[in-house]
Structure 1
Amino acid sequence: MDPLPLLQDLICCPSVTPAEGGALRVLEAVLTPLGFTCTRLRFGPKEGEEGEAVENLFARRGTGAPHLCFAGHTDVVPPGDPALWTADPFGAELRGGLVMGRGATDMKGGIAAWIAAIASLPRDLPGSLSLLITGDEEGPATYGTVKVLEWMAAHGHTPDMCLVGEPTSRAVLGDTIKIGRRGSMNAAITVQGVQGHSAYPQRADNPVHRLVRVLHRLTARPLDEGSAWFEPSTLQVTSVDVGNPATNVIPGTAQARLNIRFNDHHSSASLTALLHAALRAEEARYRLEVSCSGESFLTKPGPFVAALAAAVRREAGVEPKLDTGGGTSDARFVAHYCPVAELGAVGTTMHKADESTPVEELRRLSRLYAAVIRAQLGLEPAA
């Protein structure tokens, strides 16, 4: 099966997150003849809660072990300013050996390549294969992968291992396998003071000065020097705001926002404690709000990762780097259930105008995925 027509059909679905756009119908139409049982899963907010409902798809063929799951998303980011595009973002135009369109790389191309890989293999494979496809990866990720995984666990579908098809390759196909990601958390700090005239500071309590000292405590030295598999954690001040239009008024409050990307030396709980300690050290009266979109995770090199790397060496002819860099992905949710890694296309055009993927690279990715499936189901040695 050639992955190109399937990718073109998917690109033509305007599935800007969280819209389904017809993409899941396209997948159901191709997976059902391949022997998969498809289950559409719709999750959304309860009555009175904010948010939009999301359509997701779970498809499985076979019931035995090992159970290999492929996780991906059909939702895409908005195309942005149409003047920046030279092709229709949802037209799937072929141009100079490229297929153009939103999602060509991130990550409808990966989904098309995986399904084409399955179609190229015998039906009587050992074990079982499944796909977890969400429409909520580019959005809040509230009603997508995390909810489908809960449903899978409740219905006896927890996989033994999972590959996420994000575009991880940097320069050439297969050069990077992501085996973990740093955690990410945001913090909003409000320091309370006493408003007053700037000519009479003794009658006020300037919260800006106190906030500046707190931020200095937090940024004066690195959080850590990195770990065996992770680069150093980072704490970035992303906003400092007083909202004071007057030049002669000491404000009553001062706010700051932080984003922290953290490795396995930390957790969101330990970092929250660190923030509290810095604020208390400056005797601040404050309010601290934190939100964590994902803890750090690591799939330590073992049989699963070894089989992935062996497949890359055989099919792509490169030695893959095992990496934990970049932002977050839905792999952070999968890590709670089974070993997970990420392997996909070269991601140089993802989220850009004129997003595209080379047709030949798409076909090579499909062959690589076929080698991955054979390796993970024990049909080839991990060497």
Structure 2
Amino acid sequence: MLELATELLERVRRRTPFVTATVTRVDGSAPRQPGASLVVDADGAVLGNVSGGCVDSAVYQACQEMLLGERGPEVLRFGYTDDDAIGVGLTCGGTIELLLRHHDPGVEPDLAVALTDAAQDAPVAVATVVCGPDAHVGRMIVVRPGRRREGTLGDGRLDEVAAARATGLLHAGTSGTVDIGVADGYCQEPMTLLVECNTPAPRMLIFGAIDHAAALARMGAFLGYRVTVCDARATFATPDRFPYADEVVVDWPHRYLEAQRLDGNTVICVLTHDPKVDVPLLTAALRLPVGYVGAMGSRRTHEQRLTRLREAGLTDRELGRLHSPIGLDIGARTPAETALSIAAEVVAHRLGGTGAPLRTGVPIHRRAAPSSAALPSVWTAKHLDHSAGITRSRPSSRS
């Protein structure tokens, strides 16, 4: 839902009711992950998607029915094998579970708080009870950094543990479900929370104002990074040359880097391959808790660079973090192709990909850690005539 914050905030301000269908669980192969949403408002407009094909059509119809009936939260579950998925529109097979909720902006002030923060790209999490006692299902709290929270799940102790779990996912920058068991002492029946997180865009720092940097800045922006291009040469480091960068900085790269507050999602790409720039810059970068550090250059340049970095005091462990020569082997020649090679390695490193061709049998969609809870009991069977395999249930306690 938070990925649609700007559009939903407009509905909230107009007090237009809407229904969200949010992915809460994925098993096997499926294209969207927990937190992805499809929204239908009272005017019939559709935002987002949860898979594509006739699955989205079925979800759209269910959302329309909920808008008309203003029912309480419901669960939809879609499950197919890979063999028959194409025929019904769930293009990747697997199983997805969604929570449908009717939202009335006039009586949900906490929702406006969450959407406002997310629309401004501020860190915020929404924790919603998606499975558990009827009195709690559908309730949500809004959590901000420092475990500041708005709203309630219906119990103060439950709010505290939910805020703690949500804060953990917010710090990790990921959405997902968490289970709270009776043994935890916070609830009388097991509960499952969906925690949707919005975190500021990760940063990509590109050092070296060259043509390859312009292409990489465009690729980084496409992938959702906040891109900075930095070079000490004012003649080359100009906004006109890097229209896709969020900022262009004229400064010595190592000095600029040392003044930044960075985190584990930060990507650093060094494209200068000039020893007087590379050595102090990489010495600083490889000692920072960032997610990725790569440097451009030939293999000969790389070996010479390693010698200089060792002389500067870097350890083998620190040097082991360096991706150099930067990028994956895709036969790149042009700046655009090289940017694609670098971006592919960045994504593979972040998500644990191998970089191997998918035809070799590597997983297409890596499986998220499944919930330990069982699926809810089904209270009505087939949802639509053309949607065999889709079930609906009340989001009650797991059996």
Query: Shorter-chain TM-score: what band?
Result: under 0.3
Q: Would you tell me which structure has more helix in proportion to its own residues?
A: 2
Higher RCO (C-alpha under 8 Å, 6+ residues apart): 1
